[in-house]
Amino acid sequence: MVRDTGHQDGGSAGFVRGLGRLDATMVVAGSMIGSGVFIVSADMARNLGSAGWLLLAWLVTGALTVIGALSYGELASMMPRAGGQYVFLREAYSPFWGFLYGWTLFLVIQTGTISAVAVAFSRFLGVLAPWVSPTRWIVPPLDISTSYAVSLSTQQLVAILLVALLTFTNTRGLALGKLIQNVFTSTKLMSLLALAAIGLLLGAGGTLRANLAAAWTPQNVVPIAPDLPFLSSTAATAGIYGLLVAFCVAQVGSLFASVAWENVTFVAAEVREPHRNVPLALAAGTGIVIALYVLANLAYLGALPLSAVQRAADDRVATAALQAIFGGAGAGIMALAIMVSTFGCNNGLILTGARVYYAMARDGLFFASTGRLNARHVPAAGLVLQGIWAAVLILPRTRLRDAGGAVLLDAAGLPRYGNLYSNLLDYVVFSVLIFYILTIAALFVMRVRHPLAERPYRAFGYPVLPALYILASAVIVLVLAAYRSQTTWPGLAIVLTGVPVYFLWRRMGKAPSAAVSQPGS
């Protein structure tokens, strides 16, 4: 294994280049596949109303994801450093923009996703072990305001223990984190392939043909009400404009299930031959996952009528599909598959996220302790801080209310509670898209500012494909800003909380005021 001794490695005791091409590909695929693909198609189907538009939405997400990955590949080959996307934004624009991304990543993007995936693991463990329940209280909900409470259920406890376990294992060195990632990602890739094959082979009789017979005719759609008063409600059945709005809103689900592929750029300093292997891992990992996502959705449509996809209990489409094929055993099979998937996903998220905080700290923009490596050549302090904050995000609850503002009650007449991190994740989908757009635009910026810099890999289809990515994503962002402003504007507010923090850190530390190094150095 070769140690990184470059700008951000911490000297002779720096990162260990212990990730090969296959390992890096497993980081891409494993970080992408959590629980989203098993759930989000229900809401997408309600918005779009037909099998054809549902499949096309996944294909468009897939195209955007692969184009984005190919574009990031050029930036990663130029700057294969710890921190990845943070470094790209810092070098293309300024440390300020890099910090806003890193701050939002720590505050909610990475940690909120870790929390959500951990609770998804414990939720499906509850299918097999009923004592793991969202209402079996260790500490009953304590209302801290009219909208929020804190609690500790057995479900929350298992989620916190999972975060603690994976944080600990990743502090023990890259080799153990890599082993966990490879084993669980390989298992869930095979599980997803098996789900697709079973659904297509055993459930694709007349059901799939019936769903595709009216592939482009929306039905039973949910009207989409705008949050801006000067716009009117619309739906996929309301002509081209309504279909465009529905398509963009539906992209929230498929994009959420397809994010985190960029996490491999965070660990570029630990990849062997990163100039070559990181771009290849981005291309291979996203391509494999998107192909499996499309096949999985074909399997859903083979096992279930579209109306059953739209009405799946708790949006658990994959569970409904397996129950249609295997009966009562389907729920247990799916629960086990999702537990494997979420365990591997969280390992990838935990492993990679701390490398961004490390890079920020090395620039004087985060806690100094997170910029040091332990004896096993990993940023243990960053891993622990990330784990603590992710665990904290599991504890707050939202008090659920109906459209009239009345508190929702369960069957026993007790208040129902949601999870704060779920709201936070809704808020930041909008912000994540903005950072994706900024990073793809950084490809153009770097071509202009550093035309002679070494580029071992050049983005496929440049400038057309990256420009199409920016245009398509900008349309989605504008539609979400108009029709989902209750979640988009708070997401932007979360990002903007980093503005005063950045200037405070600059004042207290030694943060750079401009790009700190040449991209080829």
Mean pLDDT for 424-445 is 89
The label of the residue with tokens 């990955």 reads 69
Query: Residue 318 is encoded by which pair of tokens?
Result: 């994959």
Residue 101 pLDDT exceeds 60: yes
| pLDDT score of 512 | 55
Peptide bond into 463 cis (omega under 30): yes
| pLDDT score of 487 | 79
Mean pLDDT for 7-21 is 70
Peptide bond into 279 cis (omega under 30): no
From the CA atom positions of the chain, what is the Rg in Å? 22
Phi, psi for residue 412 in degrees, rounded to 5: -90, 5
Q: Considering only CA atoms, which of 265, 285, 262, 288 is closest in space to residue 275?
A: 265
Contacts for 201 with CB less than 8 Å, ≥ 6 apart: none
Mean pLDDT for 278-301 is 96
Residue 411 pLDDT exceeds 80: no
Q: Find the helix or strand (DSSP H, E) in which 138 lies.
A: strand 137-143
Q: Considering only CA atoms, which of 386, 378, 290, 288 is closest in space to residue 346?
A: 386
Query: Residue 406 is encoded by which pair of tokens?
Result: 């009345």
Q: Exposed, middle or buried: residue 239 (CB in 10 Å: 0-12, 13-18, 19+)?
A: exposed
Architecture of the CATH domain 2-508: Up-down Bundle (1.20)
Domain layout of the chain by residue ranges: 2-508
Instruction: State whether residue 374 is helix, strand or coil.
Output: coil
Phi, psi for residue 445 in degrees, rounded to 5: -60, -45
| pLDDT score of 135 | 87
| pLDDT score of 511 | 55
Contacts for 454 with CB less than 8 Å, ≥ 6 apart: 78, 520
Backbone CA torsion sign across 499, 502, 506, 508: positive
Q: Considering only CA atoms, which of 265, 261, 281 is closest in space to residue 20?
A: 281
| pLDDT top residue among 205 and 361 | 361
* Contact by Cβ (8 Å): 81, 359: yes
